[in-house]
Amino acid sequence: MSQRLSQWIAFSLLFLATLVVVLPVVVILAIIVAKGASAISWDFLFSMPRDGMSAGGILPAILGTLYLVLGAVLFAVPLGVAAAVYLVEYSGSNRFSRLVKLAIVNLAGVPSVVYGLFGLGIFVIFFRFGASILSGALTLGIMILPVIITSAREALESVPRHFRTVSLSLGASRWQTIRHSVLPHALPGIMTGMILGLGRAAGETAPILFTVAAFYLPRLPQSIFDQTMALPYHLYVISTQVPGVPENVRYGTALVLLALVLLLNLAAIILRSRFRARKKW
Amino acid sequence: MSSTRLRKLKEWWIEKAILLSGIFSVVFVALIFIFLLREGLSLFRGESVFDFLLGKSWYPISDPPRFGILPLILGSLLVTLGAAAIAVPIGLAAALFIAEIAPGRLKEGLKAGIELLAAIPSVVIGFIGMITLGPWIKNLFNIPTGLTALTGSVTLAFMAMPTIVSIAEDAITAVPRQYREAAIAMGATKWQTTWRIVARAARPGMVAAVMLGIGRVIGETMAVMMVTGNAAIIPHSILQPVRTLTATIAAEMGESVQGGAHYAALFAIGIVLFIITFLINGVADLYLHRSRR
């Protein structure tokens, strides 16, 4: 077999493998849009579920997910960005920073259902928050911490060294340098991490199973100590636990969840590529 | 003068807060382990660790209850091995294509596509797997239910692929240019260079990619719970329903009584999962550092 032929065969096989990885995105989107689009209406998005969730809308699930996701980001972004500032600007590469990095890798690898157990043990039971938006948001917040820290670190590291040198040589303190010469340039990267974190928190089910999610609660939460429905758990419930939910309601719920998560991720991808392209230094 | 002192005081507090935030990641990992132990260890007052890990029957609500998680471990193992068998070759091949062969624009498009695949919520993947893949496998093999270990493996393979592709792609891209230039200069074809030089040099990073992909599969919960049929029995074939460690926690926690043996047993399964993923991620991290050197 000639070398050119074997190269052609090998490249074709690699290309096929790549198609196998990427095509499911298209197929899943196509199926869900085709079967779920007919369910989407004003009434579906903005009214309460009725008749044991087989009719009506999914408003409490949508709002519940928004509350949870905002709470998670509110908790994780300040903490995550500060941790990234510590790792990039303060610690250098000492033993302790190596430990922190290892901890972040492990936080990223802990199974989502174990986060659920942890949230149940610490927030619901130990701190007595009960099954509530607060418990769920904190659990999700810790879960997305690695995403936020990793993006913020990348953003901070991409700011050139001499920005800091110049600022320090003009007599600015270390914090003033970070605050005025480093953080503003890292902001788009930090935003990217925040949006990725939003998307991740919006789609996760296992961490909220025992910490907040209500099976069926056709009213809106009044405080952060209330339980709430949430989109991913609602999709799980109506597709496996409740018989007789019409097909288009299931697909419609999947469509709303998928659209929310994919739009957030698309926004993050676009923001990041623009950020990388626009850097002039 | 006093305004300078005030500023210095403020900065001192800010810097302490930043240091504290750095410490928090370590604290959270420790807290997760501590709270799993706190709720789970009470199981071992009435049950030996040996019976728990190697017991062949999981009947948590019979009288007396049996808390042997061997069927669950084997269920997780079977689904994971199946998923790895599918995802590893395909994922590594795709990583080679994206890193070495795809031209600029196509490369960016493919990377975005893979990132989107990684972003699809597991409950949506489980939903699609349950509705499309399940019936298909049922008809193909002519078996009573399509919700089997195989269905779980195929579904989870697609969840492992984005992890494997993106980490392996980073490792391949990080191989120094000179390696490729030297190979081409010696008369090797592009494919010979890719396969014999670049892929070999990127091997530690590829190993890490595979391990992290497997870590994701073992920890996956919702999709696997929806497509594997949830039968806590020791599997004899990949065409049988199985129950994984993660699905057991998710499915049964709602029915268990807080503080009871069943509740503690579910937390003990959490300890097992935590240790497994801790080891996998630790080793993968070692390989990643080796590949960066």
Q: How many Cβ atoms sit within 10 Å of the Cβ of residue A211?
A: 30
For the ranges A264-268, B71-75, B153-157, the lowest mean pLDDT is seen at A264-268
The CATH number of residue A203's host domain is 1.10.3720.10
Could you say which of B22, B90, B215 has the minimum Cβ distance to residue A100? B22
Collapsing DSSP states into helix, strand and coil, what is residue B180?
Answer: helix
From chain B, the residues in CB contact with A240 under 8 A are 130, 226
Q: Are residues B56 and B9 both part of a single domain?
A: no
Q: Are residues B30 and B67 both part of a single domain?
A: no
Any CB–CB contact under 8 A between B11 and chain A? yes
Which percentage of chain A shows pLDDT scores above 70?
A: 98
DSSP letter for B244, please: -
Query: Residue A143 has what pLDDT?
Result: 95
Question: Among all residues of chain B, which has the CA nearest to that of A146?
Answer: B25
pLDDT exceeds 70 at position A254: yes
Q: Are residues B122 and B199 both part of a single domain?
A: yes
Average model confidence (pLDDT) across chain A: 90
What amino acid occupies position A26?
Answer: V
Mean per-residue pLDDT, B166-171: 92
| A 250-269 near B (Cβ less than 8 A) | 250, 254, 257-258, 261-262, 264-266, 269
Question: How far is the alpha carbon of B23 from chain A, nearest alpha carbon, in Å?
Answer: 7
* Domain-embedded: residue A170: yes
- A35 burial (CB, 10 Å; 0-12 / 13-18 / 19+) is middle
Q: Are residues B150 and B201 both part of a single domain?
A: yes
Q: Are residues B145 and B273 both part of a single domain?
A: yes
- Please report which confidence band the pLDDT of residue A217 belongs to, taking 50, 70 and 90 as the band edges: confident
Query: Residue A220 has what pLDDT?
Result: 85
Question: How far is the alpha carbon of A156 from chain B, nearest alpha carbon, in Å?
Answer: 14
Q: Are residues B218 and B88 both part of a single domain?
A: yes
Query: Residue A145 has what pLDDT?
Result: 95
Collapsing DSSP states into helix, strand and coil, what is residue B269?
Answer: helix
Q: Are residues B232 and B178 both part of a single domain?
A: yes
Residue A154, C-beta contacts closer than 8 angstroms, at least 6 positions apart: A189
SS3 letters across chain A: CCHHHHHHHHHHHHHHHHHHHHHHHHHHHHHHHHHHHHHCCHHHHHCCEECCCCEECCHHHHHHHHHHHHHHHHHHHHHHHHHHHHHHHHCCCCHHHHHHHHHHHHHHHCCHHHHHHHHHHHHHHHCCCCCCHHHHHHHHHHHHHHHHHHHHHHHHHCCCHHHHHHHHHCCCCHHHHHHHHHHHHHHHHHHHHHHHHHHHHHHCCHHHHCCCECCCCCCCCCCCCCCECCHHHHHHHHHHHCCCCCHHHHHHHHHHHHHHHHHHHHHHHHHHHHHHHHCCC
Q: Are residues B8 and B114 both part of a single domain?
A: no
Count of domains for chain B: 2
Mean per-residue pLDDT, B52-62: 88
Question: How far is the alpha carbon of A48 from chain B, nearest alpha carbon, in Å?
Answer: 22
- Cβ distance B226 to A240 less than 8 Å, yes or no, reads yes
Q: Are residues B141 and B270 both part of a single domain?
A: yes
Substitution target in A18, A87, A177 with the highest count of B β-carbons within 10 Å is A18
Collapsing DSSP states into helix, strand and coil, what is residue B120?
Answer: coil
Any CB–CB contact under 8 A between B35 and chain A? yes
Q: What ipTM does this complex have?
A: 0.91
- Please report which confidence band the pLDDT of residue A88 belongs to, taking 50, 70 and 90 as the band edges: very high
Query: Residue B292 has what pLDDT?
Result: 63
- Please report which confidence band the pLDDT of residue A25 belongs to, taking 50, 70 and 90 as the band edges: confident
* Domain-embedded: residue A32: no
Question: How far is the alpha carbon of B107 from chain A, nearest alpha carbon, in Å?
Answer: 11
Better-predicted residue by pLDDT, B127 or A93: B127
* Domain-embedded: residue A188: yes
pLDDT exceeds 80 at position B72: yes
- Please report which confidence band the pLDDT of residue A280 belongs to, taking 50, 70 and 90 as the band edges: low
Count of domains for chain A: 1
Cα separation of B119 and A259, whole Å? 11
pLDDT exceeds 70 at position A281: no
Residue B76, C-beta contacts closer than 8 angstroms, at least 6 positions apart: B218, B244, B245, B246
Mean per-residue pLDDT, A12-24: 91
Q: How many residues does chain A have?
A: 281
Any CB–CB contact under 8 A between A239 and chain B? yes
* Domain-embedded: residue A45: no
From chain A, the residues in CB contact with B277 under 8 A are 106, 109-111, 114
Substitution target in B9, B96, B221, B255 with the highest count of A β-carbons within 10 Å is B221
Collapsing DSSP states into helix, strand and coil, what is residue B93?
Answer: helix
What amino acid occupies position B45?
Answer: R
Range of the domain at A259: 57-278
Q: Does residue A45 contact residue A255 with C-beta atoms inside 8 Å?
A: no
Question: How far is the alpha carbon of A120 from chain B, nearest alpha carbon, in Å?
Answer: 9
Query: Residue A241 has what pLDDT?
Result: 87
Which percentage of chain B shows pLDDT scores above 90?
A: 68
Buried b / exposed e across A103-115, counting CB within 10 Å, b at 16+?
bbbbbbbbbbbbb
DSSP letter for B188, please: -
Query: Residue A56 has what pLDDT?
Result: 80
Query: Residue A215 has what pLDDT?
Result: 84
Mean per-residue pLDDT, A186-211: 92
Substitution target in B6, B7, B32 with the highest count of A β-carbons within 10 Å is B32
Collapsing DSSP states into helix, strand and coil, what is residue B58?
Answer: strand
Query: Residue A41 has what pLDDT?
Result: 87
Which percentage of chain B shows pLDDT scores above 70?
A: 99
* Domain-embedded: residue A239: yes
Query: Residue A114 has what pLDDT?
Result: 96
- Please report which confidence band the pLDDT of residue B1 belongs to, taking 50, 70 and 90 as the band edges: low
Question: Among all residues of chain B, which has the CA nearest to that of A99?
Answer: B26
Question: Among all residues of chain A, which has the CA nearest to that of B214?
Answer: A109
Range of the domain at B209: 50-292
Q: How far apart are the first and last CA of chain A?
A: 49
Any CB–CB contact under 8 A between B258 and chain A? yes
Q: What is the pLDDT of residues A99-155, one digit of tens each?
A: 898 899 999 999 999 999 999 999 999 999 999 999 999 999 999 999 999 999 999
Q: Are residues B22 and B70 both part of a single domain?
A: no
* Domain-embedded: residue A146: yes
Q: How many Cβ atoms sit within 10 Å of the Cβ of residue B138?
A: 17
Q: Are residues B159 and B246 both part of a single domain?
A: yes
Mean per-residue pLDDT, B102-116: 90
Cα separation of A149 and A146, whole Å? 5
- Cβ distance B249 to A122 less than 8 Å, yes or no, reads no
Asked whether the whole model's pTM tops 0.80, one would answer yes
Query: Residue B232 has what pLDDT?
Result: 85
Any CB–CB contact under 8 A between B61 and chain A? no
Q: Are residues B28 and B152 both part of a single domain?
A: no
pLDDT exceeds 90 at position A182: yes
Q: How many Cβ atoms sit within 10 Å of the Cβ of residue B13?
A: 10
- Please report which confidence band the pLDDT of residue B46 belongs to, taking 50, 70 and 90 as the band edges: confident
* Domain-embedded: residue A2: no
Query: Residue A4 has what pLDDT?
Result: 85
- Cβ distance B119 to A200 less than 8 Å, yes or no, reads yes
Q: How many Cβ atoms sit within 10 Å of the Cβ of residue B252?
A: 19
The CATH number of residue B276's host domain is 1.10.3720.10
* Domain-embedded: residue A163: yes
pLDDT exceeds 60 at position A27: yes
